Amino acid sequence: STFAGALSLPAVAAVRAQVTSDLAIPNGSTTAIAWTAIAIATNSSMFSTTTDPTQVKFQSTGVYLCHVGLRFNTAESTIYTVSIEDSSATIIALSRWRGSSVAGNVTVEATGLKYVDTLASAPWVRVIVAVANSTNSIENTASHFDVVKLR
């Protein structure tokens, strides 16, 4: 039996990429994060851990919400810069944290919107991390990169 008036909606294109082990980020470096696990993938063509694991690739035009949360082991003088950039090298989200005397770990997050109007150039987004004043690690316990199609 069916319910009269029930909506049937297509699955939203979404990916949540994660790291499976702590990832060291050397002092003074800028690194594109290579994600090693897929927690959510409603469209498996958007992300692969073996082919370009730094990139989430758009499969349809529209507006996408891109969010990253990276948990670092802290160091008092460390400066973390986390950004989401697209295939044209445009930064669509940016966050910066300067170490303090905070005990424990810190999570740095960045969120932005990406409008994809054509698939001709195979557009993608990725997460870039820059670390200054210390070598630190991204912890696998709470680090993730989410890309969700809004419309």
DSSP designation for 44: G
- Strand, helix or coil for residue 88: coil
Q: For strand 23-25 and strand 136-149, is the pairing parallel, antiparallel, or unpaired?
A: antiparallel
For residues 100 and 77, the answer to whether their CB atoms sit within 8 Å is no
Tens-binned pLDDT, residue by residue, of the chain (151 aa): 455 666 666 678 999 999 999 888 888 889 999 999 999 899 889 999 999 999 999 999 999 999 999 988 766 678 889 999 999 999 999 999 876 666 667 889 999 999 999 999 999 999 999 988 877 788 888 899 999 999 8
Q: What is the mean pLDDT of the chain?
A: 88
Q: 43: which 2 tokens? A: 């469209």
Ramachandran angles phi, psi of 46, nearest 5°? -75, -25
Question: Cα(115)–Cα(119) distance, rounded to whole angstroms?
Answer: 11
In tens, the pLDDT along 56-94 reads 999 999 999 999 999 887 666 788 899 999 999 999 999
DSSP designation for 46: G
- Strand, helix or coil for residue 139: strand
pLDDT at 25: 85
